[in-house]
Structure formats: C-alpha cells, structure tokens
C-alpha cells in the first residue's frame, strides 16, 4: 500500500521513493510512487507542488488510494527518486485551510450558522454559510477568529475507526466515510472530519481577513485571506486608498468625504450644464430655423456640433421640430466618430428610416430606427470630407422631402 507521508509526518519536506508506474497523458506524464510527501488535490484543498529529483510536479491527484504525480518528463519504472515538497505552497494552502476551520468553527458556535461550501483557488478562498450575516456579524466573526489565531491553539489530528465517530461532537462530518477516518481539531474552536493539510498551531495562520461577502443561496458567501495573503490583501487596499488620498489631496480617512463632495459638486454642475445647453439650443433653434432651406414648405435643418451626446441631440431635435413642417438631421461629433439623429415633425410623411439608410451609405455608418426618428453613428476620416458629406446629405433631404 502506498505510504502517504504527508499524513504520517506532516512536516516532512522530502523522501526517497521508487517509481511504480509512469503513464503518458495528453499533456505530460503521471507518475506513481511507493510513497510521497506531496498532498493530492482533495477535500476542497488544492494539490501540493514539488519535485521528483529536478523535475517539477505540477499537480497531484488521488484515485483508488493512489497518488499520481503530474510531470513534464517520464520516469522509468523501478527508478529511485527523491520527492521534494514545495514548502511555500504547502504552507500557503495549510494556512488558508486551517483559517477556514477556525472561521467555520467559530461561525457555528458564535452565530449558529453552518459551513455548507468551501472552495480554495490559487488566488482566493471562499466559504458558504447557511445564514445571512450582516456587516456587524461579519466583524464579530472576524474578530473572534483572529483571537483564536492569537491564542495559538494546537491543531490536532486523530485517526479513528468509523464506529468510533459517534463518540465525537463534530461541527461537520463528511458523508459515506468508512474505515479509518481523520478528525481535525483546533482546540475548542473547531472539530470536523477532514483530509487536508493543516498548520500545527493556530498561530501559524497569522491573521484572518474577510475581504468580501455576498448573499448566496439564502446564506452568505465569504471571501477571506489568511497569513501572507491577508498581508498582501491589506497592502493592495492600502495602495489603492493611498492613491485615492493623493488624488484628492487629503488623508486616507477623509477620502470618503472628498469623493462624496466631488460627486455632489458634479451633480450640481451637470444640472447647470443642462440648463445652459437648453438655453443654447433655444438660441440656435431660432437661428437654424431662420436660415434653414425649405422644399415644398418643409424646413430641412442640418447641423453638426462638437461633443453633443445622443441625449442632447434628442433634446435639440425636439426644440427644432416643435413648430411643425420640419426635418432635422443633427450630428454630434465626438473624437473620431459622429453620432446622428434624424427626426421629423408629425406633419411630415417622409420616413426617417429611409433617410437613415441614405446617411449610413453616405457616412459609411450604421444605424436605423422608426419612420419618425432614426439614429446611427459613423467614423470620421477627415473633417473636410465629413463636412462635405453633411452638405451632400442636406441636398439629399431637400430632394427627398419634396
Ligand atoms: Zn482540514
């Protein structure tokens, strides 16, 4: 039977082993050994990484009690190898996993909510709890979990027979376990069946930081980071907050007020701009209608202006059409493209959808709409070519409405 040294001596970093089998896979090879220190993916925990001699072990998986090591190079059956563990990766996984035990155990005792899901990825870890926790409860949970870390409680593993299980009060018990079962305890903080790797003492977890939470299936999904991941998460947040504080020339603790103040000022300026733009449209409407060319009693207003949004084009067209017997073609130029709005008053029968097809062809644009109004957009290759096309479009409209 294969020796799983990662269970027998969790601190062991390397061991000699013999190659029992090596299979070619679609990508690389899978190597079976008589013993290993490399923990295979399982129980929600990621696989260890490591080396067979100097060849990297990229992943390990367990099947029928056998651990298969994924490598890029083959090994001869019977070859003697040294199995080495990537200690940093193991430490990171064990720290996240032990943190998960503490967080889940304390969530149960403190807030009577059960862990119903656990997922560890290379860059994040989540647990799902069966109750919704508000911000105050999350803060309470994080604080209590970190106090358990600070108390530096021993993390113990017992291997018991399946018939002995009923003698233990466990937070969680995996279903369908038979034979020898591993029970992991973090003092009074947690106790459950588990097959992962863990720290020896809770203090090794360093810190548990809840980084995000969301409502999930009637409960809460919590994203958290332990140990160096918690330090890195805090560093990223600090860097971001520091950049914001510099941008607003204020202290980090005053950033929220500064952002809120700017938002309030922006809302006032937008309202003021809208008012002034409307005044401008009214003045321009008068001039444009006075100078507009007509065909069969229908005024054709064609106008291009810088920086007008689709919403502003709409507001402008409503003013131009208010007096009736008018067709308006408005172009808002923004950088290298123009958006256009084609609209008619209710007493004009010519279809703006048809006019839009002509505009699409003339400006090499895309757009469409209804008989009373249509819109589109087109790239602008050069200013003079664009203005020439605008003038051509005016000619088209004058012919088309008659
Ligand atoms: Zn565990």
Locate the domains of the chain by residue range. Answer: 3-85, 91-242, 288-401
216 touches 128 (CB < 8 A): yes
If one counts every other C-beta atom within 10 angstroms of the C-beta of residue 142, the result is 18
Dmax (CA) for the chain in angstroms is: 99
Residues whose Cβ atom is located within 5 A of ion ligand 1: 184, 194, 196
Cα of 48 to ligand 1 centre, how many Å?
A: 14
Architecture of domain 288-401: Roll (3.10)
| pLDDT over threshold 90, residue 180 | no
Q: Between the ranges 43-47, 306-310, 368-372, where is the mean pLDDT highest?
A: 368-372
Q: Record the pTM.
A: 0.78
| pLDDT over threshold 80, residue 318 | yes
| pLDDT over threshold 80, residue 173 | no
Cα–Cα distance for residue pair 31/49, rounded to 1 Å: 14
Cα of 311 to ligand 1 centre, how many Å?
A: 57
Q: Tell me the mean pLDDT in the region 327-356.
A: 95
The pLDDT value given to residue 94: 96
Cα of 39 to ligand 1 centre, how many Å?
A: 13
| The domain over range 3-85 is classified in CATH as 3.40.630.10 | no
Question: Do the domains 91-242 and 3-85 match in fold?
Answer: no
Q: Tell me the mean pLDDT in the region 21-36.
A: 97
Q: Tell me the mean pLDDT in the region 207-212.
A: 98
| pLDDT over threshold 90, residue 171 | no
For the chain, the 3-state helix, strand and coil shares in percent, each to the nearest 5, are 40, 35, 25
Q: Tell me the mean pLDDT in the region 122-131.
A: 96
Fold of domain 91-242:
3.30.980
313 touches 304 (CB < 8 A): no
Distances (CA, A) of 387 to 271, 287, 382, 400: 31, 19, 9, 20
- What rounded mean pLDDT belongs to the chain? 95
| pLDDT over threshold 90, residue 87 | yes
If one counts every other C-beta atom within 10 angstroms of the C-beta of residue 351, the result is 17
Cα of 312 to ligand 1 centre, how many Å?
A: 60
What is the Cβ-side half-sphere exposure of residue 62, based on CA atoms within 13 angstroms? 19
Give the rounded percent of residues in the chain with a pLDDT score beyond 70: 100
Cα of 98 to ligand 1 centre, how many Å?
A: 6
The pLDDT value given to residue 174: 76
The pLDDT value given to residue 164: 84
Cα of 186 to ligand 1 centre, how many Å?
A: 10
Cα of 198 to ligand 1 centre, how many Å?
A: 6
């Amino acid at each position: 039977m294969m020796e799983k040294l990662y269970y027998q001596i969790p601190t062991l970093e390397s061991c000699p082993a013999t190659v029992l089998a090596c299979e070619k896979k679609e990508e690389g090879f899978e190597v079976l050994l008589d013993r290993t220190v490399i923990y295979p993916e399982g129980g929600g925990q990621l696989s260890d990484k490591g080396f067979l001699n100097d060849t990297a072990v990229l992943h390990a998986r367990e099947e029928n009690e056998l651990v298969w090591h994924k490598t890029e190079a083959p090994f001869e059956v019977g070859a003697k190898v040294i199995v080495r563990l990537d200690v940093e990766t193991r430490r990171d996984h064990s720290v996240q996993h032990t943190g998960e035990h503490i967080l889940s155990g304390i969530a149960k005792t403190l807030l009577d909510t059960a862990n119903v899901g656990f997922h560890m990825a290379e860059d994040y870890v989540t647990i799902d709890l069966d109750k919704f926790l508000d911000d105050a409860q999350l803060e309470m949970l994080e604080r209590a979990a970190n106090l358990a870390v600070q108390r530096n409680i021993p993390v113990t593993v017992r291997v018991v027979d399946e018939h002995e299980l009923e003698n233990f009060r466990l937070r969680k018990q995996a279903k369908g376990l038979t034979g020898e079962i591993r029970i992991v305890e973090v003092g009074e903080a947690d106790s459950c069946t588990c097959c992962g790797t863990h720290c020896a003492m809770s203090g090794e977890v360093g810190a548990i930081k809840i980084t995000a939470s969301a409502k999930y299936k009637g409960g809460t999904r919590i994203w958290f980071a332990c140990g160096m991941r918690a330090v890195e998460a805090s560093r990223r947040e600090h860097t971001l907050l520091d950049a914001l504080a510099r941008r607003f020339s204020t202290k980090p603790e005053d950033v929220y007020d500064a952002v809120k103040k700017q938002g309030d000022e922006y809302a006032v300026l937008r309202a003021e701009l809208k008012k002034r733009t409307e005044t401008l449209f009214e003045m321009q409407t008068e001039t444009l209608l006075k100078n507009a060319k007509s065909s069969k009693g229908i005024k054709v207003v064609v106008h291009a202006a810088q920086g007008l949004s689709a919403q502003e084009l709409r507001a402008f067209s409503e003013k131009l059409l208010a007096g009736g017997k008018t067709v308006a073609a408005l172009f808002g130029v923004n950088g290298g493209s123009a958006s256009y709005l084609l609209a008619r008053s209710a007493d004009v029968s010519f279809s703006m959808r048809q006019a839009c097809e002509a505009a699409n062809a003339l400006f090499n644009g895309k757009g469409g709409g209804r008989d009373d109004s249509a819109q589109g957009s087109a790239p602008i290759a050069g200013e003079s070519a664009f203005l020439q096309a605008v003038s051509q479009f005016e000619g088209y409209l004058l012919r088309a409405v008659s």
